[in-house]
Chains A and B, each alone.
Chain A
Amino acid sequence: MGQDRVTAVPSREIGESRFTKYLLVLFVLALLQACATVRPSRPTLPAASSASSPSPPQISSLPKTPEPEKKPLVEQGKIKEENLKERRSVPQAKTKDRPVRSPSSREAPPPIADDSSLIAKITPRTPPQRAASLRLTEEGRKLIEAGDYARALGRLEKTISIDSTNPYGYYYLAQAHFHLGRYQESLNFLDVAESLLSNEPYWLAEVFAIKGENFRALGFSQKADSSYSQALRLNPGNRMAAEGLSNLRGETQPPSR
């Protein structure tokens, strides 16, 4: 009876005459404006982009459905996120006296300033929920440092209860779970932390470094390598990633004769 099709985005045709009139009147203005504005160039993806971020965690409850032929929007969304991070992380990199470099440059990226202090992120403008969440995160961090992972978990779970947009809470939860040997849980928390950290290369590097640690513990060498490498691209000074990568490559190197 009715049409059982879905109409795609229509390309609407505008009367040619109207189109031409507008074009004639505004063409000069358009040229002037087009010359004045500079469209930001889209950065190219790094060569190892497909391997740089780990695949989504396995969902045990899902039935086994065949892979869609078209690349799903989840992956597209992921790529777009990485694009943005790539685009934004470079100009935001805190350097002392060096100018901003584009990611396509062959020179080594500038060192990233230590952005680890959570308390320093609390300013008079910080919303109260975020401030409380950051302080609890700091308490959790101290408990992790002291090796009291169980108590750290309790404290850190409160941080996301108060403010679920606090990426550091998720990061330290991931750390606590990692130390308790719960690698998959750790990776899950890191996924969330990553999606909440948009332009903080220091912290993104930390996230990827621990991802590397988790993958290495789970025996996924290639994923571990990619994660460590991604961390070092974001922050060449990330010690965990550097040591992890070095150990990993040492482990996976064939023994010399």
Chain B
Amino acid sequence: MRKSRLRALKIFFSILVFFAVGGILLGVWYVKRLEGVVTAKFEGRKWQFPSKIYSDTYLLYPGMNLRGDELLEKLRRLGYRESRDTPKAKGEYRFLHRDGLLEIYLHDFIYPLETFKGMPVRISLQGATVTKMENVDNGEELFSLELEPELVTGLFDRIWEERRLVNLAEVPPPLVRAILAIEDERFYSHRGIDPVAILRASWANLRSGGIVQGGSTLTQQLMKNFFLGDERTLQRKIKEVLMALVAERKYSKEEILQNYLNEIYLGQKGAQGIFGIWEAAQFYFSKELRDLTIGEMAVLAGLIKAPNRYSPYRSVEAATKRRNIVLAKMLEEKLIARSQYESALREIIPQRELVKVANDAPFYVDFLKRELAEIYSHEVLTEEGFRIYTSLDLQLQRIAEKALVDGLKRLEETYPYLRKRGEDDHLEAAIVVIKPQTGEIKAMVGGRDYQKSQFNRVFQARRQPGSTFKPFTYLAALMYGSEEGGKKFSPVTLVDDSPFTWSYEGQEWTPRNYKEEYFGTVTFRAALEKSLNSATVRIAKDVGINKVREMAYRLGINSSLPALPSMVLGGIEVTPLELGGAFSTLANSGVRTQPLAVKQVVDQGGRVLEKRDIQVEKVITPQLAFMVNHLMKGVMDRGTGHGARLQGFDRPAAGKTGTTNDLKDAWFVGYTPELLAVVWVGFDNQSKLGLSGAQAALPIWTEFMKRATAGTPVNDFIPPPGIKIIDIDPASGYRATPRCPQVIREAFIEGEEPSGSCPLHPAPLAQILTAPRTSISWLLSPFLGK
């Protein structure tokens, strides 16, 4: 009996020892595994840094006209706060309306290749015109001033963590002490867990019947943030404790603290999460860490427990109460003197407006992503924290988006048959805005609602340009003349707009005019202004299709163009972006530029990885460009684009309507010397639109241009040397006399202008005698020669 009991005991203890040893081995293995995880995190990449996309900068100069409240809105969007007194801290501004003075304390900003140090400036305004700018510190007059670009969006994976790393040495000691005082007062004495804090918290929770206090150390919080979720389970807690102990064994207090200060979540700015102490100082106070006051440090320290509840953006009162608790703790721990405590209590936390990054310009951003994807992978873009500088003008972007959406709504109200007829049958449009001098794409709207359809019609939709393709024919005609016989064309050349059939390579094609209206003999100019198909095709036939095609390529059409007669009337496919690029060449006096969206890519260290420069190429003479622009001004003033004038857009501008034969596409391309916009309207599924470019696209273009150019200087196309502008009677094509009922100012290559006066309306004798030169030179022209 005794022997069997002993044996049983032996077996029992053996099993116990076996399990104990096994448990210890398992425990050791588990801890080793955790150690590996912690080490990998501490010594590897800890955080992902989303790349950030910035708009273009905003340049101010004396004499510049501002669009209404544009500058003040811009300042608000950039996070500047209005101040009642003279701005004393970076990020403040004051507008003295009566005196016309705008005082701004500019932010610091890191540009590619240079860092801008913020300074106080004063801008004098007379109405909407900048009259003077000066540096308030030294009184130096400033002749140009650049406001930093706006953050458009970040490229992130799941969540947007906004963070900038700092070393522990860069964090002011009082701030560190404040955080430790409120979050982990025995940080330097414990080994990862604080039994005293745990006991205290347990007692508090027991008394209240719920979880009202936490006993976690800083180290535990760091482990939780790095590796573990928010779920409150025992298993997770045990893991957290073990990892904290491992981390404390392997790493110094300073390393743990530094990681903590860079890791902690401290607020939300729209889609952006604010992480790390540096970001928090910027977000709440627009200050560098070293410039924070004791009170502000206490605010930040108090936020850790519940960033959104104690956020000054949500409630200044709650933020103040929490700050005061932290200050009391700091005083209790003798981290600050009583005088500092009282002074900090008196600080007023400013009520600030939260300006979120609203992820503006999603179509533009998509376009950028495509461009960037050719060079960088998604992982690199979402982790490496690049700064991407672009040509985007957010003001123009907003104007374009509104014009498009409102324009389509108006069309649907006016023409009820255009209203949504199915999921895939929704009226759509696209706008692209280009600065012709530089090729910069200033705005891009690829559709009416990005949330519903991300298809970007600006560069992904290939549609027939219709009549917008005609200017290439007219340009080729002016440049080359007719293929046979070498006859020259000028704006007053008479062309035939009667029905005809073109036999080409064994095929026959009969171009038809809009509404089958034919005008007989018309001038070159009239044919373009009225967008006459038959006349245009005759000209193209005379000039040669290959020349027309070459001209389109020369100006910037990249799509392959078949050398067929239908090409002349736009029976090919192009994107709005390339059409805009081609017309930009005309707007830029014959100088072709490359479309520019991404301008620079800079890494976190400030190294410029990618720089796209403005590229120019003179492809046609400025004289030819001017002549075609001058012809297309007539489209606006008298022709199919006249609706823009009736809608109140009276600036000098050139343009061309576009309607496809099957009425599926409506276009308008128009430009001033400084700004070009292309508008397309239609259905994605190729349903019939039934409206012309003048009816559907022109109103949207006009609305956009009116608002986009408001307040800017009125500039006209400047005739280059070698251009002669004279008054012409369009009926005869000769120099106008005082009797001519209709007069057009026409541009010619110098030496090719008509020398004779209008024979249909000869000037009376008295006028000939008093103004003999014109008549006499006409009379003598056979003797003097041209």
A251 at the interface (CB under 8 A from B): no
Instruction: Pick out which of these stretches binds chain A: B6-14, B273-281, B477-485.
Output: B477-485
Residue of A nearest to B546 (CB): A65
Map CB proximity to A onto B477-498 as digits: 1 under 8 Å, 0 otherwise. Answer: 0111110011111101111101
A97 at the interface (CB under 8 A from B): no
Number of B interface residues in the complex (CB < 8 A): 92
In addition to A81-B623, A195-B618, 14 A-B residue pairs with Cβ atoms within 8 Å of each other are A7-B494, A7-B496, A9-B492, A12-B759, A26-B776, A65-B546, A70-B480, A73-B479, A77-B621, A157-B438, A162-B61, A164-B437, A192-B591, A198-B720
Map CB proximity to A onto B741-753 as digits: 1 under 8 Å, 0 otherwise. Answer: 0000000011100
In the complex, what residues of B have CB within 8 A of residue A256's CB?
Answer: none
Given A29-B772, A62-B554, decide whether A198 and B496 contact each other with a Cβ distance below 8 A.
no
CA distance A132 to B144 in the complex (A): 7
Given A30-B776, A57-B618, decide whether A81 and B722 contact each other with a Cβ distance below 8 A.
yes
Instruction: Pick out which of these stretches binds chain B: A100-108, A183-191, A229-237, A242-250.
Output: A183-191
Contact of B499 among A1, A129, A135, A165 (CB under 8 A): A1
Map CB proximity to A onto B411-429 as digits: 1 under 8 Å, 0 otherwise. Answer: 0000000000000000000
A76 at the interface (CB under 8 A from B): yes
In the complex, what residues of B have CB within 8 A of residue A150's CB?
Answer: 113, 608, 611
Q: Which of A74-94 contact B (CB under 8 A)?
A: 74, 76-78, 80-81, 84-85, 88
Instruction: Pick out which of these stretches binds chain A: B282-290, B348-356, B537-545.
Output: B537-545
B480 lies within 8 A of A68 (CB): yes
Contact of B437 among A5, A9, A160 (CB under 8 A): A160
A128 lies within 8 A of B62 (CB): yes
Given A72-B479, A77-B623, decide whether A63 and B550 contact each other with a Cβ distance below 8 A.
yes
B480 lies within 8 A of A72 (CB): yes
Our count of residue pairs bridging A and B at CB distance below 8 angstroms stands at 213
Number of A interface residues in the complex (CB < 8 A): 69
A30 lies within 8 A of B772 (CB): yes
In the complex, what residues of B have CB within 8 A of residue A162's CB?
Answer: 59, 61
A22 lies within 8 A of B62 (CB): no
A158 at the interface (CB under 8 A from B): yes
Contact of B779 among A12, A23, A63, A154 (CB under 8 A): A23
Contact of A131 among B63, B502, B590 (CB under 8 A): B63
CA distance A132 to B133 in the complex (A): 12
CA distance A222 to B480 in the complex (A): 29
Contact of A153 among B436, B613, B619, B720 (CB under 8 A): B613
B198 at the interface (CB under 8 A from A): no
A40 at the interface (CB under 8 A from B): no
- Chain A contacts to B: CB under 8 angstroms: 1-10, 12, 14, 22-23, 25-26, 29-30, 33-34, 56-57, 59, 61-63, 65, 68-70, 72-74, 76-78, 80-81, 84-85, 88, 127-129, 131-132, 135-136, 150-151, 153-154, 157-158, 160-162, 164-165, 170, 173, 177, 185, 188-189, 191-192, 195, 198
Contact of B538 among A6, A77, A132 (CB under 8 A): A6
Given A164-B588, A195-B720, decide whether A3 and B498 contact each other with a Cβ distance below 8 A.
yes
B622 at the interface (CB under 8 A from A): yes
- 24 pairs, A vs B, C-beta closer than 8 Å: A6-B487, A6-B489, A6-B494, A12-B732, A22-B779, A25-B765, A33-B776, A62-B553, A73-B481, A77-B722, A128-B61, A128-B62, A132-B144, A158-B144, A160-B438, A164-B436, A164-B588, A165-B718, A177-B613, A188-B617, A191-B617, A191-B618, A192-B591, A198-B721
CA distance A151 to B115 in the complex (A): 12
A74 lies within 8 A of B620 (CB): yes
B376 at the interface (CB under 8 A from A): no
CA distance A85 to B721 in the complex (A): 9
B769 at the interface (CB under 8 A from A): yes
B400 at the interface (CB under 8 A from A): no
In the complex, what residues of B have CB within 8 A of residue A135's CB?
Answer: 61, 143-144
B546 lies within 8 A of A161 (CB): no
Residue of B nearest to A39 (CB): B784
CA distance A170 to B502 in the complex (A): 46
Q: Which of B516-534 contact A (CB under 8 A)?
A: 521, 534
Map CB proximity to A onto B707-728 as digits: 1 under 8 Å, 0 otherwise. Answer: 0000001000010111000000
A61 lies within 8 A of B553 (CB): yes
Residue of A nearest to B487 (CB): A8
A29 lies within 8 A of B611 (CB): no
CA distance A53 to B769 in the complex (A): 46
Contact of B542 among A6, A30, A81, A185 (CB under 8 A): A6
